Amino acid sequence: MSLDLRRLGVLISGRGSNLQAIIDAVEDGRLNATIAVVVSNQSEAGGLARARAAGIDTVHLDHRAEATREAYDRKLVAELQARGVGLVCLAGFMRLLSPTFLDAFPNAVLNIHPSLLPAFPGLDAQRQACEHGVKVTGATVHFVNAELDAGPIVAQVAVAVRDDDTAATLASRILEAEHKIYPEAIARVLDGGWSLAGRRVITT
């Protein structure tokens, strides 16, 4: 099957609220794309039910069933390519992707992260922000490269940290911002008119 950039593969590990934001944006026409498949490494991921409710093909691929990251990633690539996926969107997918995966989708893997990268990469970004005492944090959509949370930035949105915030209250405000920014950033990537200049995603 040939690859069509507008055929999205969404990878999840959990609740799938960002997946839902993408589903909603496709359904109401803000995002001119088709979600070809939703893949989860966790069988209990709430996002799988959201996908099924929207009539989207789902796949559960258990990472514990594979001996190596590469073996797992080859299976992921096969599931996505079999459905003609051209753009991969990570939406709370809590696994690192190997060069095996990234080479199959050059400049075509996006991730959303709940901080203003390069601040607070990795796990628990909202807790990291609270503990560090920053006054502003936010969300970042970026291309995925071989380093953790480090690829070229497509879009960012700032969220103020309040004095009485906990990691949980801050996470819920950042999540609202994520739901807005992720479909917009995907649409921007699909619509073209941009190029990569080193690390910078610039308008052409």
Query: 70, 67, 51: which is closest to 59 by C-alpha?
Result: 51
Rounded to an integer, what distance in angstroms lies between the CA atom of residue 77 and that of residue 23? 22
- Catalytic residue of the set 63, 113, 132, 142: 113
**20 or 85: CB nearest ligand GAR:** 20
Q: How far is the CB of 97 from ligand GAR (least distance, A)?
A: 12
Q: Beta strands 194-197 and 200-203: pairing type?
A: antiparallel
**87 or 89: CB nearest ligand GAR:** 89
**42 or 81: CB nearest ligand GAR:** 42
**77 or 117: CB nearest ligand GAR:** 117
Rounded to an integer, what distance in angstroms lies between the CA atom of residue 118 and that of residue 125? 11
**Strand residues in the chain grouped as ranges (E):** 4-12, 34-40, 58-60, 85-90, 109-113, 136-143, 153-160, 194-197, 200-203
Q: How far is the CB of 114 from ligand GAR (least distance, A)?
A: 4
Query: 102, 204, 103, 115: which is closest to 153 by C-alpha?
Result: 115
Contact assessment for residue 160 and residue 136, using Cβ atoms and an 8 Å cutoff? yes
Task: Give the H/E segment covering residue 103.
Answer: helix 99-104
Residue 25 tokens, joined: 């944006």
- DSSP structure string for 129-147: HHHHT-SEEEEEEEE--SS
63 catalytic residue (yes or no):
no
Q: CB nearest ligand GAR: which residue?
A: 92
**56 or 125: CB nearest ligand GAR:** 125
Q: How far is the CB of 94 from ligand GAR (least distance, A)?
A: 7
Q: Which residues bind ligand GAR (CB under 6 A)?
A: 12, 14-18, 47, 91-92, 112-114, 125, 149, 175, 178
The residues annotated as belonging to the active site are 113
